[in-house]
């Protein structure tokens, strides 16, 4: 049974996720559908990229992925299908794919949309499913759509670097209110160069060591570790770091008093090396 993952910012409160699955199974009842998440924050590209990137890389080759995030950021003229490491990813042409893969994919086609069709979420999901079904039937990837397509590109959100510091942004807060920072273990160690360090964040809280597990500190004590995806995580043993330390992910500036409207701002965490 072909694996098909589904990721969206739709939420789980109405009929739509179930209806999408019904559409997919109507096209191919053999699809084994796996939910990644349907609770991604709308318009939060770094969060969506973090979740998709670290889920997708754990699936076997020949897995199909549908990413329905910011699907109508612009009026869709086509949809994108990417063959990356022998996995297939379907998403809107909104720049998210370059943030997920952290590069511009080379093996990509634009899936055409029926001009007379109502271009809603259900229709877009069915376009992806039909393309996947063609692949399963042996259709060459390049025959599925236009291979000469220029796609929207968005750069991944990167940590800022200085000689004696690195500054990252909060990109995700999990169900336990653990706070994920866009600093990987490799980036941290490369910048650290064996030096001691202090992680400094809101309310003058400081952490000066990396733990391996939450149990390395006493209950209610703060800690930092690198999570299973390899990203820096601020947590409290049996507590909620985001709420207790006043940490939050992106906020959208959309008031007239702001100089730049509709800009996403991220709270930062800074690490000093000594």
By CB atoms closer than 10 A (0-12, 13-18, 19+), residue 73 is middle
- pLDDT above 90 for 266: no
**What percent of the chain stands above pLDDT 90?**
78
- Per-residue model confidence as pLDDT tens digits over 151-164: 999 998 899 999 99
Q: Is 6 exposed, middle or buried (0-12, 13-18, 19+ CB in 10 A)?
A: buried
* Intra-chain end-to-end CA distance of the chain, in Å: 54
Q: Is residue 207 very low, low, confident or very high in pLDDT (cuts 50, 70, 90)?
A: very high
What distance in Å separates the CA atoms of residue 10 and residue 121, rounded to the nearest whole number? 10
116 and 193 share one domain: no
Based on the structure, what is the number of domains in the chain? Answer: 2
Helix (H) or strand (E) holding 197: strand 197-201
* CA–CA distance, 54 with 176 (Å, rounded to integer): 18
Of 62-71, 72-81, 122-131, the one with minimum mean pLDDT is 72-81
Please check whether residues 131 and 211 belong to one and the same domain.
no
For the segment 104-124, the average pLDDT, to the nearest whole number, is: 91
Residues 68 and 128 in one domain: yes
Per-residue model confidence (pLDDT) at position 267: 86
90 touches 124 (CB < 8 A) = no
Q: Quick: pLDDT tens for 30-48.
A: 999 999 999 998 889 999 9
148 lies in a domain? no
Asked whether residue 199 is assigned to any structural domain, the reply reads yes
Residue 212 pLDDT = 95
Alpha-carbon distance of 50 to 24, in angstroms, equals 25
pLDDT at 261 over 80: no
Domain co-membership, 122 together with 176:
no
Is 39 inside any structural domain? yes
- Residue 93 domain-assigned (yes or no): yes
Give yes or no for a contact between 163 and 239, defined as CB atoms under 8 angstroms apart: no
Q: Look at residue 254 and give its three-state secondary structure.
A: coil
* pLDDT at residue 247 in the model: 81
Task: Provide the CATH number for the domain around residue 74.
Answer: 3.40.50.10790
How far apart are alpha carbons 245 and 162 in whole angstroms?
25
CA distance 59 to 22: 23
| Best mean pLDDT range from 54-68, 168-182, 234-248 | 54-68
pTM of the model: 0.89
Percent of the chain with pLDDT over 70: 93
How many CA atoms within 13 Å lie on the side-chain side of 246?
A: 5
Could you tell me the residue range of the domain that residue 260 belongs to? 160-273
176 and 107 part of one domain? no
Q: Are 208 and 217 in contact (CB under 8 A)?
A: no
Q: Would residue 246 count as lying in a domain? A: yes
Select from 95, 114, 143 the last residue of a domain. Answer: 143
Whether residues 266 and 165 share a domain: the answer is: yes
In tens, the pLDDT along 179-194 reads: 999 999 999 999 999 9
């Amino acid at each position: 049974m072909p694996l098909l993952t589904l990721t969206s910012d739709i939420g789980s409160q109405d009929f739509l996720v179930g209806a999408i699955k019904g559409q997919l199974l109507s096209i191919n009842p053999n699809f084994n559908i796996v939910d990644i998440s349907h609770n991604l924050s709308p318009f939060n590209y770094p969060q969506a990229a973090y979740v998709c990137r670290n889920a997708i890389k754990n699936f076997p080759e020949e897995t199909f992925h549908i990413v329905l995030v910011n699907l109508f950021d612009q009026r869709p003229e086509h949809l994108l299908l990417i063959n990356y490491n022998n996995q297939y990813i379907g998403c809107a042409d909104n720049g998210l794919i370059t943030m997920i893969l952290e590069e511009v994919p080379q093996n990509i086609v634009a899936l055409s949309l029926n001009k007379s069709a109502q271009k809603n979420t259900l229709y877009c999901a069915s376009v992806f499913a039909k393309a996947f079904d063609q692949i399963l039937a042996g259709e060459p990837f390049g025959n599925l759509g236009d291979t000469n397509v220029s796609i929207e590109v968005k750069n991944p959100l990167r940590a800022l670097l200085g000689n004696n510091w690195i500054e990252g942004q909060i990109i995700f807060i999990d169900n336990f209110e653990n706070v994920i920072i866009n600093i990987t273990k490799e980036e941290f160690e490369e910048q650290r160069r064996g030096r001691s360090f202090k992680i400094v964040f809101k309310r003058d809280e400081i952490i000066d060591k990396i733990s391996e597990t939450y149990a390395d500190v006493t209950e209610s004590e703060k800690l930092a570790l690198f999570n299973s995806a390899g990203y820096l995580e601020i947590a409290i043993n049996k507590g909620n770091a985001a709420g207790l330390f006043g940490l939050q992910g992106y906020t959208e500036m959309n008031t007239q008093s702001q100089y730049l409207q509709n800009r996403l701002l991220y709270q930062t965490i800074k690490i000093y090396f000594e």
